[in-house]
Chain A
């Protein structure tokens, strides 16, 4: 399809991004503020020969997405906090069986039913740590309608490349804001597909990694036979309770992501080159931060922004470097301070200030400006 321009909301941009990435299966259960993704998919999926399937709950939704992925289709689900909580066990299954999939969480106020129509960023630690055991996922944090599209495309590419569940973590404001969206011509989009086995079926070992630590993935009906299980398994896919098998598998599942942090992590540096104070933010608060920084500069205060577009794997290296460049770091999150702790752990002796705001209204530009003033006079 040639380039298209729309004026639309983040949720719709996300759905269009998925379709452009080649997603042809959506399994979901309606929940505010992610319903528009489901509704858009219900219209668009049949038009492109795909399936919008509405399940009885989020557990079925994500488990069916794992099934669709193993049937060879790019697949996704979209939900919000309560739904993600229900999906946690299956996320572990997807990690353990190395299933490419995309999970969109349009974050609302929590805990529990919280504030369904108000945005928050309270699920960023859940995305990383919510399922049991030691594992890695990838999480992207878009901050605009265009980025909802771009990052969803990227989420599919990363899921396919690393065989891992990828989260798109957008706060409700980003999901519901309306802006211009440019959907590029499909030939201008870079699309990644999972590696398929190249050896004959008799020689195929379904969980034997290549040098990049990612095993080629066979799909159902392809002539390759395999057993995939959430149990700890060896290269053949066979269950094992041996220490060395567990050690090798868990190390590899973590390392295949951690070894590639530099390739996975994306961020935007805004007016940081001579900054004394660096704001670290993602999603909606990063938009307020830009406005605050422009104003601070007008007032002669040297402030800048490190906007995280990827939060998992955590960009430790970038934070360490930043900490050596600036005098203060302020972490502005729409929660009680979650990534703040990650930043503090990476920032050495540079003071890190928490700007918590666990409510629907993000940090306003004047609040951030005030914080900048406060820390420079310290």
Chain B
């Protein structure tokens, strides 16, 4: 006999630790949407979920790994990419996906990001850029725009620093797949995450999202719905644009699309060849 609750189970619930719901996120936050994108990408690819490893650092976005029902790990702040590299090199059969925030990936973990790009190791990084450190209450970070207000760049002056453009950073560091979407472009973003996972090389997908509780409130950007409406309005789809032209200006234009999709020798494959060579010479 099927009960009402059986028939109402979400099709992606099989990937989630439903016993941990409701999750910790605020109403109107983009993190739930991004979690859904990653789950759907895995579903669409039809890969063995047992072979998927999801890793996060620390932050609101850093909690994503804990909701997935596979091998998951919550590292220290900024280190999910380094952890993921160890996993992938030790067992290249695994599909390793990092989901974390802009602060985690580009501030404290920025060095690991650029070097993993350079190594071209086959992992996928999904970075939710909400322009601030959500978890610690909304301080400015490496993607906060100039003169924006946060808890540590207060009125009347705002942020005296300038932001990274994560697409340009990943592309110039050597990533073989680079895309950016906003949290409202769910279908397109999911497709890019699928391509990123399937890619044999380092992939970076930035999802521009909303943190209504901190960044939204500090800058009077409205509630979650309003912020997501705005993202839809300013998203400018420019697939194939050279990455150095992928501008991001929150108020007026967020260039979205896939900007890099190239082939280069992948780290674990090169390592495998090195092992074969070393073994034959040692014999």
Contact = CB atoms under 8 A, between A and B. Distances in A.
B65, B85, B86, B89, most chain A CB atoms within 10 A? B86
B112 interface: yes
A90 B79 CA distance: 9
- The 4 tightest CB contacts between A and B, nearest first, are A67-B86, A64-B86, A46-B278, A229-B74
Given A64-B85, A221-B53, A70 B275 contact: no
A89 B65 CA distance: 20
A219 B183 CA distance: 32
A53 B70 contact: no
Nearest to A74: B90
Interface string A129-158: 000000000000000000000000000000
Nearest to A56: B115
A73 B91 CA distance: 8
Nearest to A223: B50
Interface string B72-89: 111110010011111111
A308 interface: no
A25 interface: yes
A238 B20 contact: yes
B279 A46 contact: yes
A227 B86 contact: no
Interface of A: 24-25, 27, 46-47, 49-51, 53, 55-57, 59-61, 63-73, 75, 89-90, 92-93, 97, 218-231, 238-239
Contacts of B91: 71-73, 220-221
Contact of B87 (A55, A61, A68, A239): A68
Interface in B72-116: 72-76, 79, 82-91, 93-94, 111-112, 115
Contacts, number: 137
Contacts of A66: 75, 83, 86
B276 to A, nearest CB: 9
A186 to B, nearest CB: 16
Contacts of B271: 46, 51
Contacts of B70: 225
B279 A47 contact: yes
A84 B184 CA distance: 44
Contact of A226 (B72, B115, B278): B72
A60 B72 contact: no
Given A53-B89, A221-B50, A238-B20, A59 B82 contact: yes
